[in-house]
Amino acid sequence: MNIYLHNTKTRKKELLEPVEPGRVGMYVCGPTVYDRAHIGNARPVIVFDVLFRLLRHVYGAENVRYVRNFTDVDDKIIARAEESGREIGQITEETSRWYLEDMAAVGALEPTDMPRATDWIGAMVAMIEGLVEAGHAYAAEGHVLFRVRSYEAYGALSGRSVDDMIAGARVEVAPYKEDPMDFVLWKPAKAGEPGWESPWGKGRPGWHIECSAMADALLGASFDIHGGGNDLMFPHHENEIAQSKCAHPEGEFARIWMHNEMLQVEGKKMSKSLGNFFTVRDLLDQGVPGEVIRFVFLGTHYRKPMDWTEKKRQEAEATLRDWRGLVAGAEETGPDTAVAEALADDLNTAGAITRLHAMAKEIAANPQKDCFYEKGTFLASARLMGILTEELAGWNAAPGVDLSAYAERLGALREAAMENKDFSAVDTLKAALIEAGVEVKMSRLGVDLIVKPEFDASKLEGLL
């Protein structure tokens, strides 16, 4: 199956043709770990998790290498340590764990590699040394800066010229800079700040060099896909390209650049001042299942702005309840071709979901049909998108509610009714379960009972 992805660099959809035939390398910018991930942080995670799943489906899990970094040294982290009185290592260890737990809760697989910036300082220093030797960077007052004008293609990704950038933005003009657009590769460490020895004195890396060094070390000078939110396009990704291409002029760096759009809440930009800012953990603690969060995100194409609304949450929860009931007892087969093709067309998740709705409607409309295979296909198709997985199961059942005895009783009554042709007892128990807020699904494969939001356990008393 061919995969086509929109390349930010060329402004067009392109066929994915791996640098190394049969193997794919992907780098996605990860979090700066100083606090909980807000809901907007989850969008690139879910977007590129779907791509990771698709790549594994097409190329085989062993042939896909997905790298997503942790920035664990940064001004925000240092500030958090100072205000809290805690050690930086304690903060980054805790928040990294939070991040992985929250992203797992929305169904994200862990990447192949999750490098921490502090483990790759040596590689960063080596890359900076090479840039200085080649004339692309210079040392000044304990800093090392990249000469932006030494890379002629600077601005191609974001579609801006250097002069336009200077004219249209407030740029920090430090006295040690040769040019206002030059950016920091290495900075001196202040008293009490973390630092590492280097040819330019004790200091720490700038933000942009981290990703270039780790991508080069783990994926090589040329690899297939680089992703992240479109807020990173400039300056972060623009700077990554410049320093990586100058450090390894023989390489392509990333062939395809992918950027997801931002997230809004009820039609407004998310902000603490508007009271619509919340973390993934906030939603989970409020009882919103991670699978529901994921499904809402998948309903909008990754290159379009996404609006989180309460209505979408409710609709997603209702749909997933129905779908989980539909596939109860089914065994996963292979995914539907139309679903896989939608995903292979620049991650058209909305199109894939439309196809899943059509499949679910057909299966539900033919309860007497032998549709076990169709259910297996439906299940595999959903799981290709990271929904209806075993890892995300359980939220649709009320805590502490065991309906197995009712399912067994209804199954026994149904079996007896098939012999004596009297279904009155079956209908009576089924109606009582429905009245109690239990969805009843019966097929030749058995009886499935699904707890609905309006479930009332008191109405089950005396039914057995």
Read off the CATH number of the domain in which 117 is found: 3.40.50.620
- Per-residue pLDDT reduced to its tens digit, 32-88: 999 999 999 999 999 999 999 999 999 999 999 999 999 999 999 999 999 999 999
Same domain, 105 and 224: yes
Total domain count, the chain = 3
In contact, 281 and 36? CB cutoff 8 Å: yes
Whole-number pLDDT of residue 368: 58
Whole-number pLDDT of residue 117: 96
Same domain, 292 and 165: no
Q: What is the pTM of this model?
A: 0.86
Name the nearest CA neighbour of 350 among 402, 292, 298.
Answer: 298
* Cβ-based neighbour number of residue 343 at 10 Å: 25
Question: Considering the chain, what percentage of its residues have pLDDT values greater than 90?
Answer: 76
What end-to-end distance do the CA atoms of the chain give, in Å?
53
More confident: 448 or 344: 344
What domain range includes position 426? 404-460
Same domain, 379 and 410: no
Residues 177-205: what's their mean pLDDT? 94
Residue 363 lies in a domain: yes
More confident: 293 or 374: 293
Same domain, 185 and 258: yes
Q: Side-chain half-sphere of 157: how many Cα atoms within 13 Å?
A: 24
Whole-number pLDDT of residue 58: 98
Same domain, 198 and 251: yes
Distance CA 386, CA 388 (A): 7
Residue 239 lies in a domain: yes
Q: Side-chain half-sphere of 70: how many Cα atoms within 13 Å?
A: 25
Concatenating the DSSP letter of every residue in 313-356 gives HHHHHHHHHHHHHHTTT----PPPHHHHHHHHBT--HHHHHHHH
pLDDT above 60 for 167: no
Same domain, 85 and 143: yes
Of the pLDDT bands very low, low, confident and very high (cuts 50, 70, 90), residue 395 is confident
Residue 58 lies in a domain: yes
Residue 233 lies in a domain: yes
Last residue of a domain, one of 356, 384, 412: 384
* Cβ-based neighbour number of residue 362 at 10 Å: 13
Same domain, 106 and 74: yes
Whole-number pLDDT of residue 172: 58
Residue 314 lies in a domain: yes
Concatenating the DSSP letter of every residue in 54-102 gives HHHHHH-GGGEEEEE-BB-S-HHHHHHHHHHT--HHHHHHHHHHHHHHH
- Per-residue pLDDT reduced to its tens digit, 338-392: 999 999 999 999 999 999 999 999 888 876 565 556 899 999 999 999 999 999 9
Give me the count of residues in the chain.
464
